[in-house]
Each structure stands twice: as C-alpha cells, then as structure tokens.
Structure 1
Amino acid sequence: MSRLEIPTPAKINLGLAVRGRRPDGYHEIETILQLVDLTDRLILEREETGQISLETDHPSLPNDEKNLVYQAARLLQRHTGSSWGVRMQLQKHIPIGAGLGGGSGNAAFALWGLNELWELGLTREELQELGRALGSDVPFFLFAAQAVGTGKGDALSPLPPLPPLPVLLINPGFSLSTALIYRRVRLVLTKRENRITMLRRFFLMGDVEAIGRHLFNDLETVVLEDHPVIGEMKEALLARGAEGAIMSGSGPTVLGLFAERQTAQDALLHLQQEHRGWWIHLTTTLPSLEDMWQRVRRDST
C-alpha cells in the first residue's frame, strides 16, 4: 500500500452543555457528537525521502505547519521515528469555521491514514492520545461514529448507532472563532436538568422524534446575540418538517434532524429557492466508523 484516498467526515453536535471553566483555561463541557457523510477528501502518497508536503484547494488554508493535517503528519513522524514521508492533498467540501469539525476530522484521518500507510501498527487508543495534542475534537473522529464527550469534549463514551438519518445543514456564509464564542459564554450556576442524560436515553431507545425535540446548545444564545440569522435558519428548518433544529458546535451552521428522507429532500428544494444566500446541504448520519475505514482499505493501492 503506497496511496490512500480517505473521505474525512464532518461532525454535528446534537447536544452541548457548558458546565464551567477549567483551571487550564478551557471549558468543561458535555456533548453528544455524531458523524455525518458530508466529507472532505484527503489523498496520501507515501514518500521515501521522509519529506512531508501538503496541497490544499482552498485559498484560505495554509499548506505548511500551520495546517492541522501537516501538524498531524509531523507529530506522528516524530512520535514513531518513522523514516517515511508523505505527499498530501486536501480537497475541501466542509465549510471552514462552521462548527462541523472539518479541520479536526482532517487531522484525525491523517493520523489514521498515515498509521496505515507507514505500517506503524499504533492502536486506536494511541492515535486518540496523539490527537489530543492537535485539538479537543480530534479524538472523537478516531473513536466512533457517535459518542458522548465530556471534559474538554475529548473524554469519550460510546453510544449505540442510530439508523442513518437525514440531516439538513444550513450555513449563512460566514465563519466564527470557537475560542471567541467560548470566551463570551455566561455560565449558569443554578442546577439544571441534565439534558445530555435525557438525549442519551433517547439514543438508547432509538427515539428520533424525542431526540429532535430535545436538541440543545448552550453556545447558541451567545451567537444569536450578534447573528439573529441563526434563529431564522432554525425556524426555516422546523417550518419544513424537521423534528428538531439546533446550531452545531460553536456555529454558525444549523442542523435540522429529519425522520424521513423525502421530507428532508422537499425541505432542501424549498429552502434553496427561498434562501439563495445560504449554503444548504442534505447529509446523513453515519452509523459506523469502522465501515468507512474498511472501505478505504479495500479501495487502497
């Protein structure tokens, strides 16, 4: 195997609770994470010289050590002492700075792909630990297709997979800084019902309607203050039949969870006609990370 073509998926947050500020400056959170089949494409070609290079097709992305994919390759090379290098191409389809974890997924799948390509034999747990050095979301993309994240979001516990569900994503056409959004969070110190526990229970039951009714994100009110379009996007999705709608991560992308694909497809057509300035994409939840890895191995050269 000397070449891999890897689809790197986006993630959505179906619930996100901010619990407090940590001594290290990060926030303590609880979140439910789910992969979807909106993907970037990462092409890896093994390089005998030991050199690492990266090309991207997005003008705002760096091609050097400022890029998480490049950082992932260098980190793995140094950690293992591998003499192999790699030529990497990154083709972007996931919006940048959108609350969908595109960069984190790119980095995570670079670690996984290079572990395969360089025949390093690291375990999934070892790759997750390396991923923590790159970002709080990175370990999730190496863990499972759905999980509960606590701590900084990188302490993960499994959730049972749901059947593939249609998800309509809407982005208003601008990006947001995750760090800035978290700095503006006003913590609520009064005791609240644990909505993550409720969502987890509905996952176990496979109750899509109940999951939709209980979507939430503590960061949403922060973003709404400056960007009321978030509320407009939510209302548009609910009006077109979504079981629930919520901002994903630190935004500004809003997701609508649907029970039926035909309803989601009808909503897509109507919303594209009504809101031509919005980026709107119909995707599906992924039930299994392992299935994606197996397809990449099968198609590799």
Structure 2
Amino acid sequence: MRVSVKAPAKINLTLDVLSKRPDGYHDVEMVMTTVDLADRVDLTLLRSREILIDCSASFVPLDQRNHAFKAAKLLMERYSVDKGVHIYIDKHIPVAAGLAGGSSDAAATLRGLNKLWNLGLTLDELATIGAEIGSDVPFCVYGGTALAKGCGEKLTHLSSPTSCWVILAKPPIGVSTADVYGNLRVDQIKKHPNTERMLDAILSKNFSLMANNLCNVLEEVTLTRYPQVMQIKELMIQSGADGVLMSGSGPTVFGLVQKEAKVHRIYNALRGFVKDVYAVRILGGGETEILD
C-alpha cells in the first residue's frame, strides 16, 4: 500500500519578532501562506518496523536529521506502530531557503502516515505532534493562510489572499535560521510589520494593500550578511514586481505580481542572475490533500 501527499512551500507575508524568551527562542508574529511549489512525499507500507528514506535531491540527509524521518519516528514510537514505512521525497522546494520545505515534508509525512497506519488522528492532533519537530510544522499540517504567534505554533486560520503570481528566486547559498535569529537585536529593530493592515488586506482581498505591507524584520540581518540576497531584492523591484520580500530567514526572495504580462519579464531578468527561479501562484487555501 502506498500513500502520496503534496507538501507545498510557504512564504511569509509578514514576519515580526517581538521578544527573546528565557529559553533562547523568540516570540514571533507572522502571516504565512502556501504557494504552488511543492514536494511530493510517497509513503510505502513496510511489514517490518523500520523507517527508510530516499530523496530525489542528493544533498538531503537520509537519517534522523531529516524532518520527515523525525515525523515517522515520533508517530511510530508514540502510537506503538508495529509496521514501518519507506519514505520517498520528490524534491522541488529548494533546501535551506526560507520556504519551510523540510517542515512541509514532515507535515506531509504526518498526514500520510495517519492514513497509511490507520491512526485516526485529527489535524489538530497532528499539528500538536508536529510542533515537537519544528515551529513551522503545525502551519504546514494545515496549509492555507494563517497568523502564527508564540514560536509559530499558535495559529489563527485566515481566508486565502487574493490570487496573484509569486516569483521566487534563491541565490546559491544556504542561510542558517539559528544564525540569523542569533544576530538579531530585538530592541534595535528599525521597522516592525503592520500585522493588522496585512490581515485587513487578506480579509478584503486587496492586492495593493497586501503588496505594500510586506515586511520581515529578519531582512535587517540577512541582507547585511548576504549581499546576494539584497541584489536579488533590488533586481526584482527594478524589474517591476508589485511587492518584494525575503521569506523566513532567507535567502529566498519573492515578488508578488498581479498582471501576468509582467511575470515573464521579471522571471527572465532573474534567470540571468540566479538559477533557482520559479513563477507560481498563491494557493492560500488548505492543502492537506492526499494525492492517492
């Protein structure tokens, strides 16, 4: 028996850091939504109690460092599952890109194994388990659009934003999320997002309001430390994107584009600068579908 699950990428429309907690983590407030760039996670039932993992991308770890492996191990141990699984990740989301690829793979694994192993868990229960793997995993369990608080696990589900194009560009570098947060001085943040205005933009499906209120406080760290990210952002703005922002801790930059006529021009301009460029759509609705 095999189950296949779609694992879409996410972008941050806003990302605010409110404080640093005693445990070293940060309290955040961010608006996230899914886009139509996705991995596919194929889960095949094994009669033996083992977890095997393969991936189409050669540089993804295939052991306990992999979020999908962690998800399977957590479910297996918590619910005393006496079967196993072979996990194959068909990778399309860039790795270490600020797009929650690993978290989305973990969430897809949780949803798929819930069916494959007949666990009968709710999405809320899967999201609670996912929070033990990573702060973006609960959001990815549900998909769609949400306001996230706490460490990212306290979610308020939102309606989908107005449909538009999203152009993603990732330079050939990796960025450590821990390093970016470690170099952020919360008391020195120059500009915080207007989260309420972004929520209004989503509720009213106002594209201009959404594009004009993109804001990510982590840019203050990443753009300074990685000039390539700033160059991509400037090129995207010059090429005519309606709103441009770095997603997560980077290094991926995305541009929101309302008119399709602009998409090819911006895409081609970026392709002359970096290899990893994608033109996709905002999904925004829940993407918890089991493909087969």
The TM-score normalised by the length of structure 2 is 0.95
Q: Secondary structure at the match of 1:230?
A: helix
User: Which residue number corresponds to residue 118 of structure 2?
Assistant: 119
Q: Matches of 1:159 and 1:170 in 2, distance apart?
A: 26
CA contact (8 A) 2:42 2:89 kept: yes
Structure 1 residue 211, shift from structure 2 partner: 0.7
> Residue type of the partner of 1:140?
F
Whether the 8 Å contact between 2:159 and 2:285 is mirrored in structure 1 is no
Question: 2:237 aligned with 1:241, yes or no?
Answer: no
SS in 1 for 2:250: coil
Spell out the pairing of 1:157-176 with structure 2 (5 A cutoff): 157-176=156-175
Alpha-carbon offset, residue 226 of structure 1: 1.7
Which whole-Å CA distance do the structure 1 matches of 2:189 and 2:289 have between them? 43
Matched residue pairs, number? Answer: 292
Distance (whole Å) between structure 1 residues aligned to residue 196 and residue 84 of structure 2: 44
1:278-293 mapped onto 2 (5 Å cutoff): 278-290=275-287, 293=289
The secondary structure found in structure 2 opposite 1:293 is coil
2:62 alignment partner in structure 1: 63
Structure 1 unpaired stretches of 5+ = none
**TM-fit CA distance, 1:98:** 0.7
Query: In 2, Cα distance between the equivalents of 1:31 and 1:62?
Result: 28
How many Å separate the matches in 2 of 1:74 and 1:121?
Answer: 17
Paired position in structure 1 for 2:26: 27
Report the CA distance shift for 1:64/1:194 in structure 2 as closer, same or farther (over 3 A): closer
The one-letter code of the counterpart of 1:109 is A
What aligned pairs does 1:133-148 form with structure 2 within 5 A after superposition?
133-148=132-147
In structure 2, do the counterparts of structure 1 residues 5 and 252 end up closer, same or farther at CA, with 3 Å as the change threshold? same
Structure 1 residue 270, shift from structure 2 partner: 3.3
Cα gap change, 1:76/1:280 in structure 2, threshold over 3 Å: closer, same or farther? same
Post-superposition shift, 1:50?
2.1
Partner of 2:230: 231
d(CA) in 2 for partners of 1:264, 1:222? 29
| Cα separation, 2, equivalents of 1:193 and 1:221 | 11
1:194/1:254 CA distance change after superposition, 3 Å: closer
Deviation at 1:192, TM superposition (A): 7.1
Q: Distance in 2 between matches of 1:116 and 1:170?
A: 35
User: How far 1:259 moved relative to its partner?
Assistant: 0.9
1:251 equivalent in structure 2: 250
Q: Specify whether residues 279 and 191 from structure 1 end up closer, same or farther in structure 2 by C-alpha distance, changes over 3 A only.
A: closer
Q: Percent identity?
A: 35
Displaced runs of 4 or more, over 6 A? 189-193
AA aligned to 2:70 is: Q
Aligned counterparts, 1:77-96, within 5 A: 77-96=76-95
Task: Return the TM-score normalized by structure 1.
Answer: 0.92
Cα offsets for 1:126-179 (capped at 9, x unmatched): 000000100000000112311000111111001111243210001111110000
8 A Cα contact 2:147 2:157, kept in partner: yes
Deviation per CA, 1:243-285: give whole Å up to 9, x if none.
Answer: 110100000100001112232233212332x32x342111111
Q: Is the 8 A contact 1:241 1:264 kept in 2?
A: no
How many angstroms apart in 2 are the aligned matches of 1:6 and 1:185?
Answer: 36
1:164–1:286: 8 Å Cα contact kept in structure 2?
A: yes
Task: Find the counterpart in structure 2 of residue 73 from structure 1.
Answer: 72
Measure, in 2, the Cα distance between the counterparts of 1:67 and 1:267: 34
CA contact (8 A) 2:193 2:216 kept: no
Partner of 1:131: 130
Distance 1:163 1:98 in 2: 24
Distance 1:190 1:240 in 2: 28
Q: Secondary structure at the match of 1:55?
A: strand
Structure 1 partner of 2:217 = 218
Separation in structure 1 between the aligned mates of residue 229 and residue 188 of structure 2, nearest angstrom: 25
Q: CA shift at 1:191, angstroms? A: 10
Give the structure 1 partner of residue 262 of structure 2: 263
CA shift for structure 1 position 194: 5.7
